[in-house]
């Protein structure tokens, strides 16, 4: 049987088998468990798998189909491991807000480090527009200008007033979209607006934090309509890049990569102290945004400050 993993709780996977219109509560075959792997979990939401039926409700995952793409993140628990967040997605939706929680300046660019290597289209959403003052709206204008000019889609919405939600819904048609973002930005609120039936369920399965909010703890795929799916995911606390090298970062800043053709050292230029660097020229002539360059330098600095031997050590 072939099935689609739509929910993963670590040990168990909920797998939907289309021919039977049925969900199997599934475990991984022992040989698929990855010992000493750098991945914390071998199967993710969005994966297509082969199942062996155990009984009417349970099955064993015996094979994982080749993925079109996937998103990994450094595991929050072990920095030497990568957490596989989702597979086979058509759009990565990053929800941010300029208000509550406070906007982290480098966060968008850090997030893009997880989607760029796989060329996954990204939609950046600024939520909670109902709370923005004039200053915030100006900041939004600047940020949307920056990211649109680089080739990302940007939207201003409010889950409270529902401004921009209809347009956003159109962006999600006929796709599998992964919704991510820091905790509290409104991922679940958005999903509850788009899929009202999801609300009751979310409240049942989420941890109750005691502050009147529900925190999503597992990734889960939900049906928007017959050909559109969205994946809710747990809030991102921090994004670190133990797994990246300096050149990976340089190549994953989209506009830097394009322009680096004109750097003296071409694709090997780190755009810092090299002579005749097109990116640094761009800072002067306005073709490169300082905001992006600054975030770029911050990521490089973080990677370099990690102890080299610790990074290379066997685990
Ligand atoms: N004012 C305002 N509040 C919002 C908006 N969207 C969400 N909120 C509130 O923000 C809080 C957090 O929303 P959630 O949807 O739970 O956030 P989340 O991103 O799913 O958080 P995690 O599951 O912890 O990652 C809730 O109290 C929401 O009511 C909005 O557009 N405007
Ligand atoms: Mg949530
Ligand atoms: Zn350069």
Task: For the chain, list the domains and their CATH numbers.
Answer: 2-64 (2.40.50.140), 81-232 (3.40.50.300), 246-312 (1.10.40.50)
Does position 198 have pLDDT exceeding 50, yes or no? yes
For residue range 137-183, what is the model confidence (pLDDT) as tens digits?
Answer: 999 999 999 999 999 999 999 999 999 999 999 999 999 999 999 98
> Residue 279 above 90 pLDDT?
yes
- Res 72: pLDDT: 86
**CA of 149 relative to ligand 2 center, distance in Å:** 30
> Across-strand partners of 60?
27, 52
Atom of ligand 1 nearest to the CA of 232: 20
- How many Å lie between the centroid of ligand 1 and the Cα of residue 262? 44
- Ligand 1 atom nearest residue 129's Cα: 31
Closest CA to 26 of 38, 188, 42, 76: 42
187 lines ligand 1 (CB under 6 A): yes
- Please provide the distance, in angstroms rounded to a whole number, between the alpha carbons at the two ends of the chain: 36
**pLDDT tens per residue, range 121-143:** 999 999 999 999 999 999 999 99
pLDDT at 20 exceeding the cut of 90: yes
Asked whether the predicted pLDDT for residue 201 surpasses 60, the reply is: no
CA distances from 122 to 16, 119, 151, 155, 180 (A): 26, 9, 9, 11, 11
The backbone torsions φ and ψ at residue 35, rounded to the nearest 5 degrees and listed phi first, read -85, 140
Cβ–Cβ under 8 Å, residues 175 and 228 = yes
Report the residue among 125, 213, 218 best suited for mutation to probe ligand 1: largest number of ligand atoms under 8 A from its CB: 213
How many H-runs (helices) and E-runs (strands) does the chain carry?
A: 10, 15
What pLDDT is attached to residue 34? 65
Give the DSSP letter of residue 45: B
Given a cut of 70, whether residue 209 has pLDDT beyond it is: no
pLDDT band at 39 (very low <50, low <70, confident <90, very high): confident
Q: Kindly state if the Cβ of 213 falls inside 6 Å of ligand 1.
A: yes
């Amino acid at each position: 049987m072939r099935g689609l993993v739509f929910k993963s709780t670590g040990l168990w996977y909920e797998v939907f088998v289309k021919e039977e219109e049925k969900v199997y509560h599934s475990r991984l075959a022992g040989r698929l468990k990855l010992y000493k792997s750098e991945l914390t979990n071998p199967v993710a939401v969005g994966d297509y798998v082969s199942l062996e039926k155990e009984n009417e409700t349970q099955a064993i995952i015996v094979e994982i189909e080749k993925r079109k793409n996937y998103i990994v993140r450094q595991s929050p628990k072990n920095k030497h491991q990568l957490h596989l967040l989702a597979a086979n997605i058509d759009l990565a939706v990053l929800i941010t807000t300029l208000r509550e929680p406070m906007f982290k300046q480098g966060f968008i660019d850090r997030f893009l480090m997880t989607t760029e290597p796989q060329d996954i289209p990204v939609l950046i959403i600024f939520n909670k527009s109902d709370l923005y003052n004039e200053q915030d709206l100006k900041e939004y204008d600047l940020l949307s200008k920056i990211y649109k000019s680089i080739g990302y889609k940007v939207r201003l919405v409010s889950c409270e007033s529902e401004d921009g939600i209809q347009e956003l819904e159109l962006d999600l048609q006929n796709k599998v979209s992964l919704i991510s973002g820091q905790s509290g930005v409104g991922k679940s609120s958005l999903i509850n607006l788009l899929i009202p039936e999801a609300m009751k369920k979310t409240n049942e399965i989420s941890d109750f934090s005691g502050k009147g909010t529900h925190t999503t703890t597992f990734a889960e795929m939900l049906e928007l309509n017959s050909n559109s799916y969205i994946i809710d995911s747990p809030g991102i606390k921090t994004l670190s890049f133990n797994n990246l090298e300096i050149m990976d970062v340089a190549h994953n800043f989209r506009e830097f990569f394009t322009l680096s053709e004109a750097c003296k050292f071409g694709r090997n230029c780190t755009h810092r102290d090299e002579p005749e660097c097109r990116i640094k020229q761009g800072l002067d002539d306005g073709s490169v945004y300082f905001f992006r360059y600054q975030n770029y330098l911050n990521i490089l600095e973080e990677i370099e400050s990690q102890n080299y031997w610790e990074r290379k050590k066997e685990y």
